[in-house]
Amino acid sequence: MKIAILGYGVVGSGAYEVAQAAHNIEVKRVLYKRPIDELGDIVTTEYEDILKDEEIELVAECIGGLHPAYEYVSAALKSGKHVVTPNKNLVAAYWDELHDLAREHGAEFRYTASAGGGIPWLFNLQRQSRSDDILSISGIVNGTCNYILDTMHNEPVDFAEILAKAQELGYAEKDPTADIGGFDTQRKCVISANLAFGTSISEEDVPVFGIQNITAGDIKYFNEHGYTCKLLMNAGQTETGAYAYVEPTLVSRGALESSVPANNNLISLTGNHIGTLSFYGQGAGKYPTGTSVIQDVLDIENGWKFSDKSEKNDVSVDNRLEAHRYYIRENGSCKITGPLSVTEAHRLASESSDEHFFMAGIRE
C-alpha cells in the first residue's frame, strides 16, 4: 500500500521511520513546508500532489490542530482515500462529520493513536464494545500531568518548579494550558466515550477541572491521609443516562493508578461480561505514537475494519448521575465534603471568587 504522511514533526517523523520497517507499506509522499534532505524528492509542499495521486490509497495526518488538518482529512475521505490520524483535537471536534464522510465514500477512518498514544487502548476498547456492554471507562491519559503530580508526591517541589522542569524535559509545551488545564484529557475522554458507548458527545458535554492550582500543601495533606492525586478522565453509562467528566481524583495507595510513575498512562474499561481491563504504557512520544499510526495503516492494508457503531446510542450526558465526596480548598481553608454530584462540584468551582480554588474528587 502506498501512503502519504502529512507533517514531519515528532509524530510524523516517527511514523515515517516505523513505516520503513513495515511490510507492504511504501511512503510515496510527505507533505512538509520545506525540503527534507534525507527524504529527497518524496517531499512536497502541495497537498494537491497527494490528493490527485491515484496510487496513494491512504493519508496519515500528523500535522495536529484543527486547520488545515480538517480540510486535508475531509478532502482525502471525499476522494475515497483512507485516513489515519493521531489528532485528538480533530477527531473530538468533528466526530460525526468525519465518520459520515468515511462511510459515504467507502473509506476507513482510524485514530487509535489519538487517545493513549502507543497504548492499544482504543483498539481494544472498540473490539470489546462489539460483544459487550461497556459500563465505564477511566484513567490517566495525560503524561505531562502525571509527571507533575507523581513528582510532587515524591519530592518537596511546588507546582511552578516542576512544570518548568517538565517543559525543560520536553514533557510539557511552552504553553501548557491544554495539558494542565485538562483539555487534552477532555478530548481523549470524548473520543473514548463515543467509541465505548456508541454515542456522540462533544467537548462541551464534558466538564473539566485541571491541576494548575494544586499546591505542595495539598499534596502534603493527601500524603498524610493515604491518598494519591491523579488527573483522571471518567465516563460511564447508567440506566437513565451517561456521565463524563475530567478532574483531579484522590485514589487510595492500593489503587493501580496510584503507582503509575512519571509520564506514563493507565486506562481502564469495565464491561458487563469481561469485568475490568487496564492498559499501561507510554501515552505519547515519537515512536510510541508513530508506531500506533502505522499499526492502523497495516490494519487497513490487511482489510481489518475499525469503525464506530453505525447505530447511534442516543444518550445524553447528565453529570447529576455521578456523585462522590470532594476535597475542596477555597480562600485558604480546606475541607472534605459529603457526596456532591459532579454537576454541583464543577458549578462550585466555576462560581468561586477564589482564583486559587482547588478541588479533587475522592474515589471511594
Catalytic sites, residue numbers: 188
By residue count, the chain amounts to 364
In the annotated binding site for L-homoserine, the residues are 173
Q: Is the Cβ–Cβ distance between 255 and 363 less than 8 Å?
A: yes
Kindly give the residue spans of alpha helices, DSSP state H, lying in the chain. 10-20, 48-51, 69-78, 88-93, 95-104, 121-131, 143-154, 159-169, 177-180, 183-197, 216-224, 286-301, 342-351
> Per residue in 137-158, is it b (16+ CB within 10 Å) or e — as a string?
bbbbbbbbbbbbbbbbbeeebe
Q: How far apart are CA 101 and CA 104, in angstroms?
A: 5
Strand, helix or coil at 182?
coil
Identify the CA nearest to 103 among candidates 313, 292, 299, 306.
Answer: 306
In the annotated binding site, the residues are 7-12, 88, 173
Number of Cβ atoms within 10 Å of the Cβ of 314: 8
Identify the CA nearest to 209 among candidates 245, 174, 164.
Answer: 245
In the annotated binding site for NADPH, the residues are 88
DSSP sequence for 184-221: HHHHHHHHHHHHHHT----GGGS-B--STT--HHHHHH
With left for phi above 0 and alpha for psi between -120 and 50, is residue 203 left, alpha or beta? alpha
Q: Give residues with Cβ within 8 angstroms of 22, minimum separation 6.
A: 294, 297, 298
Q: How far apart are CA 261 and CA 266, in angstroms?
A: 10
In the annotated binding site for NADP(+), the residues are 7-12
Number of Cβ atoms within 10 Å of the Cβ of 330: 16
